[in-house]
Structures are given as structure tokens and as C-alpha cells.
């Protein structure tokens, strides 16, 4: 390999090189170029193109507060805490992995053991002023409990502003209306997830 | 008694011309934003009033209530004077421009021109050239390098295009034999074929280009081109002082549109079934639209290219045009 090959490495076969116009060498060539450029009518092509766009009226403006773009389900904005589809219980088991992995140290959770000897999350908060939306928390979560949502309007009056558990957890009425949605692919339950669910050993 | 009537009539006409053109200039800012937006597949102002029509009211409120800043090292009297010169000359030039054909109102014959002087073309072009003192003084007094560059460019541009516009308009004047805009208009009164644009296509082209230069419109907007000189001579201006420059620019646009329509495009003579006044309005609107259209489509040129094209291309062409016209007339 020579240096030339390295310099050419991104060029697909069939790439057409344009050497550019040859610079005029004498007065006569300069004159010819001026005449050519003046008579060619390229300026009128430009006029026609903008006029055509005006007539077509194919406006691309989104009038933001009134209209909003639909975000992709994979959009990585404000977090959501999901519920189990079967029971409606919170998915979060309070393992604290997200708290540990968070590189900007913005997740905190409080857990306690309730009267049924189950570990439950009593408080869960994310400081969105620090969060960089890297997605590590969603990736590390073993229960698919914390995911990123498409709520992107998170401007606030202060640098530090918090999302609390009740803000991020799917509300029960939304859940009952079957509005809690997951998108397919990495990070979601597979289609045949039910086949892998086994009953507890006592039931055998 | 008769003189008093003339004085009163002139004052009324002047007030009407001033207010209507100032209002149209303000409205033209909205039109410009809309047309440019549509050509760039945007919507433009939409929020103030239906389709943003009242945007100019919002802009006016903003301009009037904005803090008026005069820089510390600026030469204060000249800094204050410069925008007034720019706006005044733009409106003064309209005094000798006829807008519509004569009409009768309450049995009183009205000629819609403030003053029919016999050197109207010379007067309009002279006053328009005085307008360069606005940018020049503004740029020199505001102690800012961008402003100074803008002022220098304004003078350079003025020197370049003034020769072209003067020489190019000479050929039609030689044919007509009068400098009065009303005479020029009457010369083209027998239909579209008598328009001077057919007899003097080169002069028309040169004068139109000079008009674009005179109004600092793209592609010749060298003196206030953002990427090169921030805002040129107007960099240090804010609030209503800047607004005066702005209004002056749009008034200039209207004047140039009216001039081109009258000198080359048949003026306010009726075309087929279209009455003269409406024809004039259509022509002027077309020219205003052309100013915006060109701004949306074409890149602007460097100052050295502008001087080059003026002195080495347009001026020789104008002189050749005059010579040919002279031979044809003889």
C-alpha cells in the first residue's frame, strides 16, 4: 500500500472526479469565460428553482408549541419507570445497579423491606440537571424497569431539577388503559418471553 | 388665493406620499420575510395577527421602545444626523415622481405628483446620490471598524454604480428629449409595444442593475453583508435610529421600482383593459417582488467584483449604447 491508496480509501468505485475549470491564461480566454458565464443563464435557473419552491408551497416548518414532531420510540429523553404487564406491580426491584453505573452520579434511590419481607423502592430520583442521557441505567437494568421515554420538554428554571418516582412511574390508570408501551428490539421483552417463564418450584 | 391653494395641495400630497410610502415600506418588510420564507420552504412570521400580518406592528413597538445606544467614542451629532439623512433623502427623492395618472376628485383635477419639475430624472438621481452620506457619516462617526468598512464600501459602490445609472438612462432621455418623468411616461402611451424596454433593452438592464446597487440589495449588498462586515455602517445603531435606515432602504426600493416602471415599462399608461393606476401598481409590485426574488436566489458578489463589473463591463456597455442610440437618432 502506498500513501496514495490511503488517501483514496473512502472512495467508492465509479467515483467521478471533477478537476475544476481550467484557469484562463490570457486576456482572450478571460473574455471568453466572461461571455460564457454571462450568457449561460445559470442565474435564471436559480431564479426558477426558488420560484418553483414557492409555488409548490411544500413547507417544512413545524410550528413548535402547536405542532410537535413524533419522536421515535427509541428516542432517549426523560426516563420512565415501567410496571409489570401481568400484575401492574413496579418492575424496579431496588437492586441499585443504575445508581452504581450512572456516570454523572445523578440517580439516588431509597429502599426498605416491607411487611411482606419484600424489598421495595421508597424513593427514586434522577437529577436531570446532571443527567447526560447516556442510557447506561436503562441498559444495565435487569428488570427492564427504567427505560428512556420520548418526553423531551425538560427545560427548567434551575440547573438542578429532579424527576421523582411518581413523575416517572407509569400511572396506574394509564397502565389499566393498556397505554404502557414498549418498543421491540434490544432492551425489551422478546416476543416469546412467556415461554421462558416457569412456575415457582412449589407448584411442580 | 391660487398660490395658497397650490401650497396646501402640495403639502397634502407630500404628507400622503410620505405616509403611504412609509407604511408600504414597513409592510414590505413583512412581505419580504414571507416571500423569502416561502422560497426557502419556511412559513415566516405566523404568530402576530392572522398569518403574521401584524408583525410590523410588533416590530414597530420593539424599535420604538428599544434602548437607544450611542457608543462612547462615537461623534454624537453626526451619529444622530446620519440616519435622518438616509431617511430624508429617500423620501425627498419621491417628490418628483408621478405615481398615477391624473384624476378628478370633487371636480378638482389632481395630478398625483408632488411637484412636476422639468428635470425630474436628474433631481431624483441627484437626491438618491446624496443618500450615500447616510451610510458614509454613520460608518465614520460610530467608531467601529465594521462600520468604517461598510462606509468605505458604500462610497466605492456609489462611485461605481452612479456612473452606470447616469449613462444608461442617458440613451432613453436622448430619444425622448425631456427629463420630466411625466413626458417620459407620455412618450410610451401607445400600448405595450411603445415601451422603452423594447427600444432600449441594454439601457434597461444596466439601469436595473444600478437600481439593485443603489438600494443595497442582493446581489450587490456589499455594504451591509453580515458575513463580511457584520451589519456594515449600521452595526452600532439600535432602536429607531436603525429603523430610519431600514425605512430609508425600503423607500429607496419603492422609488427605484417606480422609476424603472415609468422610464422603461410604460409607466401608468393603461394596458388593454387594465386602467393605468392598476397597471402602475402591478409593475411596482412586480419590481418589489423581483428584489426579494433575487435576494432568495442569488449569491452576493465581492466589492472588487462589483467595481470590476461596473467600470470594466457596464460602463463601456452604457457608452456603446449611447453611441448607437446617437447614430440611430441622427
Residues B119, B179: contact at Cβ < 8 Å? Answer: yes
Q: A6-10, A163-167, B106-110, B277-281: which range is least confident on average?
A: A6-10
pTM, to two decimals: 0.78
Nearest CB to A53; choose among B41, B46, B298: B41
Q: Are the beta carbons of B43 and A61 separated by less than 8 Å?
A: yes
Residue A9: which pLDDT band, with cuts at 50, 70 and 90?
low
From chain B, pick out residues whose CB is under 8 angstroms from the CB of A53. Answer: 38-41
What integer pLDDT is reported at residue B104 of this predicted model?
74
Residue % of chain A over a pLDDT of 70: 92
Q: A12-21, A138-147, B275-284, B312-321: which range is least confident on average?
A: A12-21
* CB proximity A66 to B under 8 Å: no
What integer pLDDT is reported at residue A103 of this predicted model?
93
Q: Are the beta carbons of A59 and B35 separated by less than 8 Å?
A: no
- DSSP category for residue A80: E
Between A and B, how many residue pairs show a Cβ–Cβ distance under 8 A? 37
Q: Give how far the C-alpha of residue A22 lies from the chain's centroid of Cα atoms, to the nearest Å.
A: 47
Given a cut of 80, whether residue A126 has pLDDT beyond it is yes
Residues B111, B268: contact at Cβ < 8 Å? Answer: no
Q: Are the beta carbons of A53 and B298 separated by less than 8 Å?
A: no
What integer pLDDT is reported at residue A8 of this predicted model?
67
Long-range contacts of the stretch B272-281 (C-beta < 8 A, 24+): B276/B100, B276/B101, B277/B100, B277/B101, B277/B103, B280/B99, B280/B100
Residues B315, B163: contact at Cβ < 8 Å? Answer: yes
Q: Which three cell numbers stand for residue B211?
A: 437600481
From chain A, pick out residues whose CB is under 8 angstroms from the CB of B46. Answer: 63
How far B5 CA sits from the closest chain A CA (Å)? 49
For A42, which residue in chain B has the nearest alpha carbon? B298
Q: What are the φ/ψ torsions at residue A164 (nearest 5 degrees)?
A: -95, 175
What integer pLDDT is reported at residue A74 of this predicted model?
79
Residue A148: which pLDDT band, with cuts at 50, 70 and 90?
confident
Which residues in chain B land under pLDDT 50?
none
Q: A113-117, A171-175, B119-123, B141-145: which range is least confident on average?
A: A171-175
Residue % of chain A over a pLDDT of 90: 13
Closest listed residue to residue B131, CA positions, set B65, B169, B96, B85? B85
Q: Which three cell numbers stand for residue A155?
A: 427545560
With a CB cutoff of 8 Å and minimum separation 6, the contacts of B96 are B113, B114, B115, B116, B117, B120, B123, B124, B181
Amino acid at each position: 500500500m502506498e500513501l496514495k491508496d490511503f488517501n483514496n480509501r473512502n472512495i467508492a468505485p465509479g467515483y467521478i472526479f471533477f478537476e475544476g475549470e481550467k484557469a484562463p491564461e490570457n486576456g482572450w480566454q478571460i473574455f471568453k469565460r466572461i461571455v460564457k458565464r454571462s450568457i449561460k443563464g445559470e442565474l435564471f435557473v436559480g431564479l426558477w428553482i426558488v420560484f418553483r419552491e414557492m409555488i409548490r408551497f411544500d413547507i417544512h416548518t413545524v410550528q413548535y408549541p402547536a405542532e410537535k414532531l413524533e419522536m421515535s420510540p427509541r428516542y432517549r429523553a426523560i426516563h420512565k419507570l415501567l410496571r409489570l404487564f401481568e400484575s401492574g406491580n413496579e418492575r424496579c426491584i431496588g437492586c441499585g445497579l443504575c445508581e452504581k453505573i450512572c456516570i454523572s452520579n445523578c440517580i439516588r434511590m431509597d429502599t426498605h423491606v416491607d411487611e411482606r419481607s419484600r424489598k421495595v423502592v421508597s424513593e427514586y430520583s434522577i437529577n436531570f440537571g446532571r443527567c447526560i442521557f447516556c442510557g447506561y441505567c436503562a441498559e444495565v437494568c435487569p428488570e427492564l424497569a427504567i427505560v428512556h421515554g420520548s418526553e423531551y420538554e425538560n427545560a427548567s428554571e434551575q440547573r438542578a431539577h429532579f424527576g421523582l418516582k411518581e413523575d416517572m412511574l407509569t400511572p396506574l390508570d394509564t397502565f389499566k388503559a393498556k397505554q404502557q408501551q414498549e418498543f421491540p428490539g434490544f432492551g425489551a421483552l422478546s416476543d416469546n418471553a412467556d415461554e421462558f417463564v416457569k412456575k415457582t418450584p412449589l407448584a411442580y | 388665493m391660487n398660490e395658497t391653494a397650490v401650497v396646501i395641495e402640495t403639502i397634502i400630497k407630500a404628507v400622503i406620499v410620505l405616509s403611504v410610502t412609509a407604511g408600504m415600506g414597513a409592510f414590505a418588510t413583512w412581505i419580504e420575510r414571507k416571500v423569502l420564507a416561502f422560497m426557502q420552504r419556511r412559513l415566516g412570521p405566523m404568530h402576530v395577527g392572522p398569518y403574521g400580518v401584524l408583525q410590523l406592528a410588533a416590530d414597530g413597538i420593539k424599535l420604538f421602545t428599544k434602548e437607544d445606544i450611542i457608543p462612547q467614542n462615537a461623534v454624537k451629532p453626526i451619529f444622530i444626523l446620519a440616519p435622518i439623512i438616509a431617511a430624508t433623502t429617500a423620501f425627498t427623492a419621491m417628490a418628483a415622481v408621478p405615481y398615477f395618472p391624473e384624476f378628478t376628485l370633487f371636480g378638482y383635477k389632481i395630478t398625483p405628483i408632488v411637484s412636476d419639475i422639468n428635470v425630474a430624472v436628474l433631481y431624483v438621481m441627484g437626491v438618491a446620490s446624496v443618500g450615500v452620506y447616510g451610510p458614509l457619516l454613520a460608518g465614520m462617526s460610530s467608531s467601529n471598524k465594521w462600520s468604517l468598512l461598510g462606509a468605505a464600501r458604500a462610497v466605492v459602490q456609489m462611485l461605481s454604480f452612479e456612473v452606470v445609472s447616469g449613462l444608461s438612462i442617458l440613451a432613453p432621455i436622448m430619444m425622448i428629449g425631456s427629463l420630466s418623468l411625466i413626458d417620459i411616461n407620455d412618450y410610451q402611451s401607445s400600448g405595450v409595444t411603445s415601451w422603452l424596454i423594447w427600444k432600449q433593452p441594454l439601457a434597461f438592464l444596466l439601469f436595473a442593475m444600478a437600481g439593485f446597487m443603489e438600494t443595497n440589495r442582493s446581489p450587490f449588498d456589499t455594504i451591509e453583508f453580515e458575513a463580511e462586515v457584520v451589519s456594515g455602517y449600521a452595526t452600532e445603531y439600535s432602536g429607531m435610529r436603525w429603523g430610519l435606515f431600514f425605512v430609508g432602504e425600503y423607500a429607496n426600493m419603492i422609488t427605484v421600482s417606480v422609476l424603472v416602471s415609468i422610464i422603461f415599462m410604460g409607466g401608468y399608461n393603461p394596458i388593454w383593459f387594465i386602467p393605468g393606476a392598476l397597471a402602475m401598481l402591478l409593475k411596482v409590485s412586480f419590481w418589489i417582488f423581483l428584489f426579494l426574488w433575487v435576494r432568495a436566489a442569488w449569491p452576493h458578489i465581492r466589492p472588487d467584483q462589483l467595481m470590476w463589473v461596473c467600470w470594466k463591463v457596464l460602463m463601456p456597455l452604457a457608452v456603446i449604447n449611447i453611441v448607437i442610440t446617437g447614430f440611430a437618432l441622427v
